Amino acid sequence: MSLSTTARRLFNVSVSHCSLTLSRYTTTAKSSSKAISLTCPSKLYIPRREISYSNVAGPLRSENKVTVNFVNRDGEKITVKGSPGDTLLDVVIDQNLDFDGFGACEGTLACSTCHLIFEEEVYKKLGPVTDEEMDMLDLAYGLTDTSRLGCQICLSKSLDGMTARVPESVADIRQSGDGSA
């Protein structure tokens, strides 16, 4: 393990020790998209899937939580819990998951960096895809038939135990230009 990795590991441990959820920086949108849309004066935009916000009705008891497994770009499995009604992007942010560049547009369907790949069975349960989501998905790297955008998927009890894979973003899957070609 290189020195820098050691330091980083240590560092991550100390952060969770202090139960510090809002670090100043690291990967991407560290602060919750909800908070930003309220505080940032330049954002007139209203998230298209308001359902994800209206569904979060006060504190939920832990037995209501949904278990979600993520497989990161290194193939490591990370198991976390989210509340029904949260989007998968909310979960990634709330749990401080370190997926580089994930959620760049903060859940406004304008970037495709929240691309996730699901198992066929789970994919079928995720509900319908809007044209707008498909349009953004078409720009995602390594697009598959069971790809979705994490910011558009709301957790529900029926998804308990699901697995979502963060696709690799290496140069060899990259197509020229936007990936629209």
Partner 1 sequence: MRNMKMHFAAIQRCLLVQQCMGTSSVNVFTSVRKLASATSTCLKVCIVGAGPAGFYTAQHLLKSRTDVQVDLYERLPVPFGLVRFGVAPDHPEVKNVINTFTQTAQHDRCSFYGNVNVGKDVSVQELQQAYHAVVLSYGAEGNRKMGVTGEDLAGVYSAKDFVGWYNGLPCNKQLQPDLSCETVVILGQGNVALDVARVLLSPLDILKTDITQSALQALEASKVRRVLVVGRRGPLQVACTIKFLREMLNLPDTRTEMLASDFEGISDTLKDLPRPRKRLTELMLKAVKEAKEETDARKRWGFRFLRSPVEVLAGPDGARAAAIRLAVNKLEGSGDAARAVTTGQVEDVECGMIISSIGYKSLPIDSSVPFDLKRAILPNNLGRVQDTSGLYCSGWVKRGPTGVIATTMNDSFDTARTLLQDMESGVLDLSVSKAGSGAISALLGSRGVRVVSFPEWEKINTEEVRRGEVNGKPREKLLDVKEMLSVAWS
Closest-by-Cβ residue to ligand FES is 151
The order of strands in the sheet holding 147-149 is 77-82, 66-71, 162-165, 115-118, 147-149
Q: Pick out residues in 66-85 that bind partner 1 (CB under 8 A).
A: none
Candidate segments 4-12, 58-66, 121-129, 155-163, binder of partner 1 by CB under 8 A = 4-12
Q: Residue 74 corresponds to which amino acid? A: D
Our finding on whether 59 is near ligand NAP (CB under 6 A) is no
- Other CB atoms within a 10 A radius of the CB of residue 48 amount to 15
Helix (H) or strand (E) holding 131: helix 131-137
Q: Using CB under 8 A as the criterion, which residues of the chain lie in contact with partner 1 when the complex forms? A: 2-4, 6-8, 10-11, 14-15, 18, 20, 22-31, 36, 40-45, 100-101, 104-106, 108-113, 131-132, 134-136, 138-139, 141, 143, 169-171, 174, 176-181
